[in-house]
Amino acid sequence: MTIWLGSMCNVVVSSSEAAREMFKNHDAVLAGRKIYEAMKGDFGNEGSIITAQYGPHWRMLRRLCTTEFFVTSRLDAMQGARARCVDGMLQYIEYGSANGTKAIDIGRYIFLMSFNLIGNLMFSKDLLDPKIGEGS
């Protein structure tokens, strides 16, 4: 079954048997994704595993990520950084909801935590301060 979401046609698989069949026999066809111009930037999508189309280049990027980034020892080594980022997010949410009179945007805090986690993994520091207002 297909469903149109905006201008994109999407395949809907409604049973585990159909999903198994699709991924077993049609995996290469389903592996590609639509890349919008806004996602490409100045140099296209050549260097990103997120936006690269399935093929030899994508497989090489995937192999690189698997051997360098997603190794158990590296993930274990960064457990402290992940815990600090989550604790910081919880503190900011607690601080933001202290007066109890206004709603807070949890999505904003989760985005900031994710962004700061990437900053900690790459540069060993937070990149954004949640206390700064939007658009500052």
pLDDT in the model for residue 41: 66
Identify whether residues 45 and 76 lie together within a single domain: no
Does the residue 103 lie in any domain? yes
Total domains in the fold of the chain: 3
**What whole-number distance in Å separates Cα of residue 68 and Cα of residue 74?**
8
pLDDT by residue, tens only, the chain of 136 residues: 889 988 878 888 889 998 888 888 887 777 777 777 776 666 655 667 777 778 888 889 889 888 888 888 888 888 998 999 899 889 888 887 887 777 888 888 898 899 888 888 888 888 887 666 655 4
Residue 76 and residue 119 in one domain: yes
pTM: 0.53
State whether 91 and 108 are in the same domain: yes
| Residue 1 covered by a domain | yes
HSE, CB side, 13 Å, CA atoms: give it for residue 63. Answer: 7
On whether both 23 and 50 belong to a single domain, the answer is no
Q: Are residues 62 and 25 in the same domain?
A: no
Which range marks the domain in which residue 94 is found? Answer: 72-123
In a domain, 136, yes or no: no
